[in-house]
């Protein structure tokens, strides 16, 4: 055996790697696994050789976890990481390990896709966790290219939802083999068998192939950490799922020839700069290798790979080379974009770039020019904001930025209000100050007709509130396509214009006492549906700058609802509340109670202030009118009129 190892450990072995891979390698794989896991003293060169041999010989499975928002993708990945023994037995790993972004943890949603890997029975499983919200569909589209199969996670009660359909369609189109995992079977009202049928019907409607329709099904509860082939027989681990992945997901095919890799993601390090991430399609990439970078427009740039990293556990490990089928990170490539190809230096053959769906919504971004500008933020100038938006374009494929006539305004195009609001929130936390206008849908002219984006809207609500919801949606030009009873709850599906969904969520939750679950996905462009009534109430606008007093707010409460607290600083033109009528009302909230020797502060009744309405960022963006901005700073969020001066506003309204 020592002779065998010494013979194979010669450097020349690695030059003949492809020949060795082509023969039956089960013996070598078992040998390598034994040497890397053995506890007795083994010569160091044997261990090194065994580790390298395992790298080359091990099976690889590239899988993407796809599902609707909140069906348990990230929780399932947590359990897979624990099953892969990435943590010590005495180490507390916490929950939602991959949602390491503050914004992700606060909102409870995955925004950025993540790559991790585990080793299971000598098989390396590369796991890609994808976002569940349709607004981040751009993330899903590009990372699916790295996978050979997918785990479709479905809630055992809710069944396939709009986003399930959206992501599954993308996965089936590129030929991924699905493994269906029906999660949350521990719920008292679950219906796993019905959901199984629904998934099959969905795949049929999406024109899945015969092989794709022959999918395996695993049942379980990711939260409780068990999976089983029979939902009525729980186990105590998730190994049945891992076994199912290894058995059913095909290993990537080793393609010989000149190297090819499509850049599908990127990372950034302050030490090494931008890092290109993707899956090696063909051939082998090595350290210090000269390559051609083929841009999306067809231009070719000569470049050099300084370092090659592969994904190991939660991090990356440096390696000498990486072969066809594995996912890797390359350091040293400059001026690349997502969708570019890395090819052979002499004979470049680029891969087909990633096709991304077009944005459906736009929003005006501008510098903060309010009286309070520069008080909170570090980055306030147009140059700062322009550089930040350019930087975002590098990694956010579904985003578009268009400069306006003036240097301090930009039109930013995205998938939806949530997609754009996450960008705004991220900028705000980084110390930027900016102002954004009302979200606008993007119209297209098709066959000489004005068309607008239509979305498939699904609302799940208890039966008592269903009539209110239907009335609300139909007023906004929604058309009901289906209605289904699930016990006490009703699932309704509508075809709805995108502009009708803006501001709908808040109204639906209010009308249903917080019971409604609402989801939507882009469907297609259809002819314009006519005018939609948005907010009918006018705004209460501050007359002058100063400190808002409880005395003034108390006297004005019969005029409408307020958005500010007493002792809050305001400026002239700031929107401080909602008028009970349809016109705007200018008021003085800075008026204080004048004290004299006959009028003491305690003689009148104490002011009884109704608590103000506090908006989230999405709610504020959906609430504002065309002539209003949302001012965003690291510490505050205010609504204001575009024209602050009252007389100027009157003049412009007449013209």
- pLDDT tens track for 205-264: 888 888 888 888 888 888 888 888 887 777 888 888 888 888 888 888 877 888 888 888
pLDDT of 138 above 70:
no
Q: How confident is the model at residue 19 (pLDDT cuts 50, 70, 90)?
A: very low
pLDDT of residue 575: 93
Q: Are residues 514 and 566 in the same domain?
A: no
pLDDT of 435 above 90:
yes
Report yes or no on 165 lying in a domain: yes
Q: Are residues 218 and 265 in the same domain?
A: no
Pairing of strands 149-155, 59-67: parallel
pLDDT of 485 above 80:
yes
Higher pLDDT, 562 or 515: 562
Report yes or no on 25 lying in a domain: no
Q: How confident is the model at residue 633 (pLDDT cuts 50, 70, 90)?
A: very high
Q: Are residues 70 and 216 in the same domain?
A: yes
Average pLDDT over residues 68-75: 71
**133 neighbors 50 (Cβ within 8 angstroms):** no
Q: 632 φ, ψ to 5°?
A: -120, 125
Helix (H), strand (E) at residue 557: none
Q: How many CB atoms neighbour CB 283 within 10 A?
A: 19
Average pLDDT over residues 382-388: 91
pLDDT of 156 above 70:
yes
Closest CA to 338 of 295, 288, 279: 295
User: Which of the given ranges, 135-144, 294-303, 583-592, has the highest pLDDT on average?
Assistant: 583-592
CATH of the domain at 521: 3.30.70.240
Q: Which residues are annotated as a binding site for GTP?
A: 70-75, 183-186
CA distances from 514 to 140, 463, 517 (A): 29, 14, 8
Q: Torsion-angle region of residue 158: left (phi > 0), alpha (psi -120 to 50) or beta?
A: alpha
In the numeric block, which tokens belong to residue 126?
A: 């590369």
pLDDT of 456 above 60:
yes
Q: 469 φ, ψ to 5°?
A: -65, -45
Which of 317, 343, 369 is the C-terminal boundary of a domain?
343
The C-alpha atoms of residue 123 and residue 121 are separated, in whole angstroms, by 6
Which of 343, 378, 412 is the C-terminal boundary of a domain?
343
Name 354's Cβ contacts closer than 8 Å, sequence gap at least 6.
141, 142, 145, 262, 264, 338, 339, 397
Average pLDDT value over all residues in the chain: 79
Which of 321, 343, 365 is the C-terminal boundary of a domain?
343
pLDDT of residue 227: 83
CATH of the domain at 152: 3.40.50.300
pLDDT of residue 446: 86
CATH of the domain at 574: 2.40.50.250
Taking CA 419 as the corner, what is the angle to CA 181 and CA 644, rounded to the nearest 5 degrees?
Answer: 155
Q: How confident is the model at residue 113 (pLDDT cuts 50, 70, 90)?
A: low
Helix (H), strand (E) at residue 262: strand 260-269
User: 266 is in which domain, residue-wise?
Assistant: 260-343
Report yes or no on 382 lying in a domain: no
Q: Are residues 118 and 218 in the same domain?
A: yes
First to last CA, the chain: 93
Q: Which residues are annotated as a binding site?
A: 70-75, 183-186
Report yes or no on 19 lying in a domain: no
pTM (2 decimals)?
0.73
pLDDT of residue 251: 84
- Per-residue buried b or exposed e for 261-273, using 16+ beta carbons within 10 Å of the residue's own CB: bbbbbbeeeeeee
User: Which of the given ranges, 166-170, 182-186, 632-636, has the highest pLDDT on average?
Assistant: 632-636
Rounded to a whole number of angstroms, the CA Rg of the chain reads 29
Q: How confident is the model at residue 175 (pLDDT cuts 50, 70, 90)?
A: confident
pLDDT of 97 above 50:
no
Q: Are residues 77 and 224 in the same domain?
A: yes
Lowest mean pLDDT among 73-82, 142-151, 553-562: 73-82
pLDDT of 481 above 70:
yes
Q: Are residues 184 and 239 in the same domain?
A: yes
How buried is residue 548: exposed, middle or buried, by Cβ count under 10 Å (0-12/13-18/19+)? buried
Q: Are residues 176 and 216 in the same domain?
A: yes
The C-alpha atoms of residue 131 and residue 596 are separated, in whole angstroms, by 62
pLDDT of 98 above 80:
no
Q: How confident is the model at residue 542 (pLDDT cuts 50, 70, 90)?
A: very high
Q: Are residues 491 and 565 in the same domain?
A: no
Percent residues over pLDDT 90 in the chain: 11
Q: Are residues 102 and 213 in the same domain?
A: yes
The C-alpha atoms of residue 417 and residue 622 are separated, in whole angstroms, by 8
Q: Are residues 197 and 106 in the same domain?
A: yes
Report yes or no on 559 lying in a domain: yes
Q: How confident is the model at residue 51 (pLDDT cuts 50, 70, 90)?
A: very low
Note the pLDDT tens digit of each residue in 295-337: 887 888 888 888 888 887 777 888 888 888 888 888 888 888 7
Closest CA to 617 of 595, 596, 632: 632
pLDDT of residue 107: 52
Q: Are residues 467 and 326 in the same domain?
A: no
Average pLDDT over residues 497-517: 83
Report yes or no on 175 lying in a domain: yes
Q: DSSP of 521-534, one letter per residue?
A: EEEEEEE-------
Report yes or no on 551 lying in a domain: yes
CATH of the domain at 319: 2.40.30.10
Report yes or no on 73 lying in a domain: yes
The C-alpha atoms of residue 651 and residue 648 are separated, in whole angstroms, by 5
Q: Are residues 103 and 232 in the same domain?
A: yes
Average pLDDT over residues 582-601: 77
Higher pLDDT, 433 or 534: 433
Helix, strand, coil shares of the chain as percentages rounded to 5?
Answer: 30, 30, 40
Task: Count how many domains the chain has.
Answer: 4
pLDDT of 67 above 90:
no
Higher pLDDT, 395 or 16: 395
Q: How confident is the model at residue 136 (pLDDT cuts 50, 70, 90)?
A: low
pLDDT of 552 above 70:
yes
């Amino acid at each position: 055996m020592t002779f065998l190892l010494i013979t194979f450990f010669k450097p020349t072995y690695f030059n003949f790697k492809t020949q060795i891979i082509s023969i039956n390698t089960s013996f070598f794989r078992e040998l390598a696994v034994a040497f890397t896991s053995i506890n007795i003293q083994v010569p160091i060169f044997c261990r090194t050789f065994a580790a390298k041999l395992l790298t080359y010989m091990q099976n690889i499975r590239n899988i993407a976890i796809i599902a609707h928002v909140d069906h348990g993708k990230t929780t399932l990945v947590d359990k897979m990481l624990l099953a892969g023994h990435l943590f010590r037995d005495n180490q507390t790993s916490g929950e939602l390990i991959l949602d390491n972004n503050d914004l992700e943890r606060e909102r409870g949603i995955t925004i950025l896709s993540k790559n991790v890997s585990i080793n299971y029975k000598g098989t390396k499983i590369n796991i890609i966790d994808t976002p569940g919200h349709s607004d981040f569909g751009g993330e899903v589209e590009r990372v699916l290219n790295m996978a050979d199969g997918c785990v479709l996670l479905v809630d055992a009660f809710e069944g396939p939802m709009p986003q399930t359909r959206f992501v599954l369609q993308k996965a089936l189109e590129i030929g991924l083999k699905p493994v269906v995992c029906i999660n949350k079977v521990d719920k008292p009202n679950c219906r796993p068998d019905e959901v199984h049928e629904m998934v099959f019907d969905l795949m049929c409607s999406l024109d899945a192939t015969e092989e794709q329709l022959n999918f395996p099904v695993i049942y379980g509860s990711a939260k409780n950490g068990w999976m089983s082939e029979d939902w009525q027989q729980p186990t105590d681990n998730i190994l049945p799922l891992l076994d199912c992945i290894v058995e059913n997901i095909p290993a990537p095919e080793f393609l010989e020839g000149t190297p090819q890799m499509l850049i599908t993601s990127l990372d950034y390090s302050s030490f090494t700069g931008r890092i290109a991430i993707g899956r090696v399609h063909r051939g082998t990439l090595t350290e210090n290798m000269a390559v051609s970078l083929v841009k999306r427009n067809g231009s070719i740039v000569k470049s050099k790979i300084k370092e090659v990293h592969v994904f190991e556990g939660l991090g990356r490990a440096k390696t000498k080379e990486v072969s066809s089928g594995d996912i890797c990170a390359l350091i040293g490539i400059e001026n690349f974009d997502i969708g570019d190809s890395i090819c052979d230096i002499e004979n470049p053959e680029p891969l087909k770039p990633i096709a991304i769906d077009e944005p459906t919504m736009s929003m005006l971004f501008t510098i903060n020019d309010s009286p309070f500008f520069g008080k909170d933020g570090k980055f306030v100038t147009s140059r700062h904001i322009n550089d930040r938006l350019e930087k975002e374009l590098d990694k956010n494929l579904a985003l578009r930025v268009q400069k306006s006539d003036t240097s301090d305004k930009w039109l930013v195009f995205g998938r939806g209000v949530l997609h754009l609001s996450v960008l705004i929130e991220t900028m705000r936390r980084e110390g930027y100050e900016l102002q954004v206008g009302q979200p606008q849908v993007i119209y297209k002219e098709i066959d000489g007709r004005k068309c607008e984006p239509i979305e498939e809207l699904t609302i799940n609500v208890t039966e008592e509130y269903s009539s209110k919801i239907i009335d609300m949606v139909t007023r906004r030009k929604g058309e009901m396509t289906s209605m289904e009873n699930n016990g006490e709850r009703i699932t309704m599906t509508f075809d709805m214009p995108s502009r009708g969904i803006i501001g709908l969520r808040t109204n639906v939750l209010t009308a249903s006492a917080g019971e409604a679950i609402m989801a939507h996905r882009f469907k297609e462009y259809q002819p314009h549906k006519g005018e939609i009534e948005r907010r009918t109430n006018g705004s209460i606008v501050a007359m002058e700058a100063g400190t808002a007093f409880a005395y003034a707010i108390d006297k004005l409460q019969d005029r409408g609802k307020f958005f500010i607290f007493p002792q809050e600083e305001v400026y002239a033109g700031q929107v401080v509340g909602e008028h009970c009528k349809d016109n705007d009302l200018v008021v003085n909230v800075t008026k204080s109670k004048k004290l004299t020797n006959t009028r003491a502060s305690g003689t009148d009744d104490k002011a009884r202030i109704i608590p103000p309405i506090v908006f989230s960022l999405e709610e504020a963006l959906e609430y504002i009118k065309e002539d209003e901005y949302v001012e965003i700073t690291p510490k505050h969020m205010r609504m204001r009129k575009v024209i602050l001066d009252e007389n100027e506003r009157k003049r412009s309204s007449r013209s």
